[in-house]
Amino acid sequence: MQLSEIGLLAQKYWLEIPIHFPFVILDEFVVMPDHVHGIMVIDKTDTNADDDTMNGALEVETPKSVETPKLGVSTADPPSRTAHASQKWNPGILGVIINQYKRMVTIRARKIHADFGWQSRFHDHIIRNDASLQQIRKYIQDNPTEWKGE
């Protein structure tokens, strides 16, 4: 996949996620012409936790909605026009991580193309076993060769 200038921004800021969220481990990732695919592990294991903690299902807490209305980033359904100021942000939840990623890409991308915007939501899936992980990795790896475009 030949990345555009905005695609390179999307890749750059994805790879920087662990700098800002040190408990995040990035796995397979690809930037497509109009979306991205990526696997992210949120590893907040407690040092006192059982050794089996990461061998079970990965639990990801997702907020009801995350808003950055001026940048067109929302996980609300339907997207809300106002931020939930009273909602406390927990920096370890997937929605906040994705919100911040989309926010940084949007700020920089709009300097290149003023109309840049993301779809209003993101789709998440909890990977519960190794077979599923391998299948999703393969899907991400093969996605560029399957791209039909519009």
Buried b (16+ CB within 10 A) or exposed e, 21-40: beebeeebbbbbeeebbbeb
Domain annotation covers residue 26: yes
Whether the pTM exceeds 0.75: the reply is: no
Domain count, the chain: 1
Token reading at 100? 């911040």
Q: 16 pLDDT exceeds 90?
A: yes
Domain annotation covers residue 51: no
pLDDT per position as a tens digit, 92-133: 688 899 999 999 999 999 999 999 988 877 788 899 999 999
The answer to whether 5 touches 116, Cβ cutoff 8 Å, is: no
Mean pLDDT of 74-96: 55
Indicate the average pLDDT of the chain.
Answer: 77
Domain that holds residue 78: 5-43+59-133
DSSP 5-25: HHHHHHHHHHHTHHHH-TTEE
The answer to whether 27 touches 38, Cβ cutoff 8 Å, is: yes
CA distance 36 to 130: 22
